[in-house]
Amino acid sequence: MSLMRLTILASALLTSLAGTAQSQTTLRIGIAEDPDILDPSIGRTYVGRIVFSAFCDKLFDIDEKLNIVPQLALSYETSADGKAMTIKLRPNVKFHDGEPLDAEAAKFSIERHMTLPTSFRKSELASVDHVEVVDPLTIKLVLKTPYSPLITQLTDRSGMMVSPKAAKEAGDKFGLHPVCAGPYKFVERVQQDRMVFEKFADYWNKDNIHIDRIVFQPIVDATVRLANLKSGALDLIERVLATDIKDVRADPRLVLSTAPELGYQGLTINIANDKAKGPLSQSAKVRQALSLSIDREAINQVVFNGEFTPGNQWVSPTHPYYQKSFPVPGRDIAKAKALLKEAGVSLPVTIDYMVPKGTEYEAVAQVVQSMAAEAGFGIKIRAVEFATTFKQAQAGEFQVFQIPWSGRIDPDGNSYIFMRSKAPQNDGGYSNPDADKLLEEGRATSNVDERKAIYAKLTKILLDDLPIIYIYHRTLLIAHTKKLDGYRQMPDGLVRVVGLKFK
């Protein structure tokens, strides 16, 4: 409790330092982790996407019903053969440094996503051969092969535009002072403490910006985040605990916004990069045994009060691309033990289990640990600061990595970058030529029935190999003060700040 009080006091002090005159026009947002680097080419965290949405507009966005809507672009047209996309840009758009967002700048941004050595956008734009400038406000993306999810990639970080001038001058330090074309411009970042943005006077949609400053505060403990919201030290928090839903709804000063998430929560298995060459990395039967030892519905009830959705695929059971012929499995300890016996492994099978620090993350890990022990697994939980988990994952310093994926509106966005051989976020080094072929086929057609048939084959392979053990799908839970008006909950879980105002 003393830690909680200190956090609330610190948060209140930060608010007071901002000055009472500013308090009514400063939106204070509590986020669950400190993001990784604020560079749209390099960033890979969900919480980073929340911050990006305040200052880094994209070519396109989505609405509540997952429709593609214009943002920095006005329209697009795909050629009849599916091998070119022509994009018309919005006129009179400026970057935060005053530079114009024209076709040359858009070409630069997309090429930077494609070619920057450390970029995580490469696989998202792998089908693009080159970008052409058609006229000062029109670009054409020329593709190597048809790629049906391309437009959906441009609604996220691959569609974020950065100032060519600022990016060239900053080089690999661009993320320390990012310059985009969004509603707010970057002011400062203090690691593990705050990120501050102020209203951009020349924003293309400035008439819909009503708040002067935004301060993002990373607070890992969800209970402390909620306490700060209730005390008035914060105005909005993301990832409310499922166990706190009743408490939030009972508070007349608060509003709870919800939506089913597009992504998943799962266990990434280090198959190719496991330095210890443990049984989990070497045997699909051992991975299947681990999956069968987990009672997904029990986790949902125990940790989340039954508010979430058990799952076993990269999309939820309510998604149009969910493969109903492969339903969520029940727990089967006898079969799990039999598989371990068939695999010829010594018991207990010890596992280094990396999980980000956080109440719900660690609670899930503890339940999995207890369940798996009954089948013969000895899980050793290692809770690590969120951004550090990604560095360790890329270095192969894990056997199991319990990590969420916030999701994309197209199923390709939940699968390709994790399953394709040598894809940038394939931290476990999984590689299967048959899966690679199907992943490419799923990108090449826009016919829904054809794609479903392709993903059915892919699902069978991945549920046999289990490079990722899927566990559940969250309900997005965001709470804010009733004084904040205009908030709309989007299915991607991001916080849109355009249109928000204080009553």
* Model pLDDT, residue 2: 41
Residue, of 318 and 21, whose pLDDT is higher = 318
What are the structure tokens assigned to 33, written together?
Answer: 């982790």
Digit-coded pLDDT (tens) for 322-376 = 999 999 999 999 999 999 999 999 999 999 999 999 999 999 999 999 999 999 9
Report the chain's mean pLDDT, rounded to a whole number: 94
Across 489-498, average pLDDT: 94
- Cβ of 370: how many Cβ atoms within 10 Å? 12
**Tokens 């993001």 label which residue?**
35
CA-to-CA distance for 400 and 428, rounded, in angstroms? 9
| Model pLDDT, residue 24 | 59
Q: Is the pLDDT of residue 17 over 60?
A: no
What is the predicted pLDDT for the residue at 8?
Answer: 44
Classify residue 161 by its DSSP letter: -
**Is there a contact between 105 and 99 (Cβ–Cβ < 8 Å)?**
yes
pLDDT of residue 424: 87
Comparing CA positions, the residue from 28, 58, 33 lying closest to residue 47 is: 33
Output the DSSP codes for 391-428: HHHHTT--SEEEEEE---SSGGGGTHHHHSTT-TT-TT
Report pLDDT digits (tens) over 232-264. Answer: 999 999 999 999 999 999 999 999 999 999 999
Is pLDDT of 466 > 90?
yes
Give burial (CB, 10 Å; 0-12/13-18/19+) of 330.
exposed
- Could you tell me which residues come within 8 angstroms of residue 236 by beta carbon, excluding any fewer than 6 positions away? 27, 28, 29, 30, 229, 478, 479, 480, 481, 484, 487, 495
For 19-55, write each residue's pLDDT tens digit. Answer: 444 445 999 999 999 999 999 999 999 999 999 999 9
Q: 140-163: per-residue pLDDT in tens?
A: 999 999 999 999 999 999 999 999
Residue 440: per-residue pLDDT: 95
What does the pLDDT look like over 375-415, one tens digit per residue?
999 999 999 999 899 999 999 999 999 999 999 999 999 99
Give me the half-sphere count of Cα atoms (radius 13 Å) on the Cβ side of residue 91. 2
Task: Give dist(CA 444, CA 457) in Å, integer.
Answer: 16
Nearest residue to 329 via CA among 295, 300, 302, 284: 295
Phi, psi of 360 (to 5 degrees): -70, -40
pLDDT score for 38: 98
Look at residue 3 and tell me whether its pLDDT is greater than 80.
no
pTM (2 d.p.) = 0.89
% of the chain at pLDDT higher than 90: 93
